[in-house]
Structures are given as C-alpha cells and as structure tokens.
C-alpha cells in the first residue's frame, strides 16, 4: 500500500515536520507488521534532479507528483499554516477527483491551533475540510485514524 505525503516543503522546518510524519508512519507500520510505502514528494524531486545534476523544472516536478498521486492508495495532507499550502490543496483536489470522491482515503493533519476555516465548524478552507475523511490534531491521532484504513495490508516481507 502506498501513502502520498502532501505538504509544504520549502523550508527546513517544513521538510523536518514532513520527515517526522513519514518516519512516524513507517515506524508505526513496522511495529504493526504492515507493508506501507510512504511517498514523500521532496524525495521524488530530489532523486529525479540528481540524474541530470541540475534542479528539476516545474513541469518535471508536476509530472513526478501527478504520477505518484495516480499510483497512491491514501493521501496524508499537512494542513498547518494560516492558509493551506497551494500545492497541497491541488494534490488533495486531484487525488479526490482521481479517486471519484473517496474522501475516506484522504487524511489531514493540522497541529496549528489557529482557525483557518472560512465556514463555521471547519478547521481549514471548507472545500479542503470536506475533502478529508478526517483531520487529525497530532501525529498520534493520525496513526489511530490510519489504522483501520491499512488493516488489510499484507505484512512486511510478504
């Protein structure tokens, strides 16, 4: 099973938080004996850029991320900030549409205590909020919400 980890990756702090989420999911999966592949776009882009020795252009980044989203089973989106990162919002919308509205396959994580929703009862933009099966408030809660979605995953090593 593949999980795509969407979120901003432009600062060291953002990348560090994304890696903490990725490693948290991987460590949890290993303890459960589950075979999960967490796809982190920064690593995809970094790996693809290594081949030519130059930075990957915009279209190349788009193609890599779109291709990975098409091959992904679940999406975990980091929704922190005064406003959700625009690339993350696009990835959520694309994944939602590509999977015919299967919102239960989109999990958000928002540790930011500020209200960023534009409608009563939403934690982020209403369109993003409604696209998520859940929005967890911590990594621990995210793992709890992830558990029933991956329970049928084959054990690691099989």
Residue 34 near residue 155, CB atoms below 8 Å: yes
This prediction's pTM: 0.91
Which pair of tokens denotes residue 63?
Answer: 């193609």
SS3 for 97-148, per residue? HHCCCCHHHEEEECCCCCCCCCCCCCCCCHHHHHHCCEEECCHHHHHHHHHH
Instruction: Kindly tell me if the per-residue pLDDT of 57 is higher than 90.
Output: no
64-74: burial string, b at 16+ Cβ within 10 Å, e else: bbeebbeebeb
Using CA atoms of 16, 14, 26, 69 in order, give the dihedral in degrees to the nearest 10.
Answer: -150
Average pLDDT of 131-140? 97
Instruction: Kindly tell me if the per-residue pLDDT of 54 is higher than 80.
Output: no
Q: What is the pLDDT of residue 158?
A: 45
Residue 126 near residue 96, CB atoms below 8 Å: no
Placement of tokens 């999966």 in the chain = 29
- Dihedral pair phi/psi, residue 124, rounded to 5°: -140, -175
* Residue with more model confidence, 45 or 37: 37
* Residue with more model confidence, 60 or 136: 136
Query: What span, in angstroms and rounded, lies between the C-alpha atoms of 47 and 65?
Result: 13
């Amino acid at each position: 099973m593949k999980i795509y980890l969407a979120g901003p990756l432009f600062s060291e702090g953002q990348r560090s938080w994304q890696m903490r989420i990725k490693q948290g999911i991987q460590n949890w999966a290993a303890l459960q004996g589950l075979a999960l592949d967490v796809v982190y776009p920064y690593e995809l882009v970094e790996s693809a850029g290594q081949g030519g020795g130059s930075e990957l252009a915009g279209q190349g980044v788009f193609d890599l991320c779109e291709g990975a989203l098409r091959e992904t089973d679940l999406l975990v989106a980091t929704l922190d900030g005064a406003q959700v990162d625009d690339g993350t919002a696009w990835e959520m919308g694309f994944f939602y549409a590509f999977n015919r509205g299967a919102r239960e396959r989109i999990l958000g994580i928002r540790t930011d205590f500020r209200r960023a929703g534009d409608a009563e009862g939403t934690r982020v933009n209403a369109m993003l909020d409604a696209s998520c099966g859940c929005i967890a408030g911590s990594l621990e809660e995210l793992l709890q919400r992830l558990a029933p979605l991956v329970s049928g995953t084959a054990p690691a090593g099989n």
